[in-house]
Structure 1
Amino acid sequence: MCFSSTPRGARLARRLCGTRLDAWGIPYGSDAHDVVTLVSAELCANAVRHGHVAGRDFHVLLTADPATCTVRIEVSDTRGERLPRIPTAPPDGDGGRGLLLVEALADRWGWSPRATGGPGKTVWAECAAECAAPRDLIT
């Protein structure tokens, strides 16, 4: 889905990810739901804060693989020159901890140029999830 590159867009993306997880059989309040929702919230917040280009939206793709019980979050923005990196020094103030959380909670994460060939990058993370019945967990 496509979201406005604003704090409100990031909140909406987080809520829609949570709703989709619940529909896939990863219920609200479960550890897997909380982890995936937090990781998606951090990636969306980073897209708004660090990947914002005036007049351009960010995109979220949420997929689940029932064979491996893995959920993948992909957040694409249009600012390719600002690449994600883990801070080497302790963050100052209230910011700078998002990727530290992603690093700690996700099983894997990384980034790549946008697959659509447009400007920007895609930051992705994969998280283990409780397996639902195969008919309930659909990509």
Structure 2
Amino acid sequence: MKSASPPNGHPPQPRFSARTFTMRFTSTPRGARLARRLVSHRLADWGHPYPTPVNETLTLITAELTANAVQHGHVPGRDFQLHLTLTEDVVRVEVTDTRADSQPPPTATTPDTTSESGRGLLLVTALADDWGVVPRPAAPGKTVWAELSLWRN
């Protein structure tokens, strides 16, 4: 018996292929806002509309990571890079800056109650399924990443 092949002669495609988005942004508050908005738009294009928990949660995580890149990873004249990956099960956001000497702590700590900042990684820890930091392989700097499962709850 002969096996059936698709009419176009190409092998069947996998059910889902990973989607990615990568862009560099100026290391400014405006660049961080633009990165956050583009992640939200990209997720909507990929089937996770604006009012959904995946879009809202990952947009907030992106806001915190990009704000940290601007505030703590800024090197004058250097941009930060955002990389977003959507697979069948997970959305991963990576923010890379060029400052290697300023590393986030391995675990988020609670700031003093009078402090006006220092809660970003607490939010990332609470919202993401996993997060971490890796050094850039070929240049100074680091990548802070966070992952969110699409099958939460």
TM range (shorter): 0.7 to 0.9
What percentage of aligned pairs have identical amino acids?
Answer: 56
Unaligned runs of 5+ in 2: 1-22
- Equivalents in 1 of 2:81, 2:58: separation in Å? 17
State which of 24, 30, 35 in structure 2 corresponds to 1:2: 24
Higher alpha-carbon Rg: 2
Once the two structures are TM-superposed, the CA of residue 17 in structure 1 deviates from its matched residue by: 0.3
Matches within 5 A, 1:36-115: 36-66=58-88, 69-85=89-105, 86-87=108-109, 89-90=111-112, 92-115=114-137
Unaligned runs of 5+ in 1: 131-139
Question: When the two structures are superposed, what TM-score results if normalisation uses the length of structure 2?
Answer: 0.79
Would you identify which runs of 4 or more consecutive aligned residues in structure 1 move more than 3 Å? 88-92
**SS of corresponding position for 1:53:** coil
- For 1:23, the equivalent position in structure 2 comes to 45
Question: When the two structures are superposed, what TM-score results if normalisation uses the length of structure 1?
Answer: 0.87
Q: For the Cα contact (< 8 Å) 2:85–2:92, is it kept in 1?
A: yes
- Equivalents in 1 of 2:83, 2:90: separation in Å? 14
CA RMSD in angstroms comes to: 1.5
Q: Alignment length, in residue pairs? A: 128
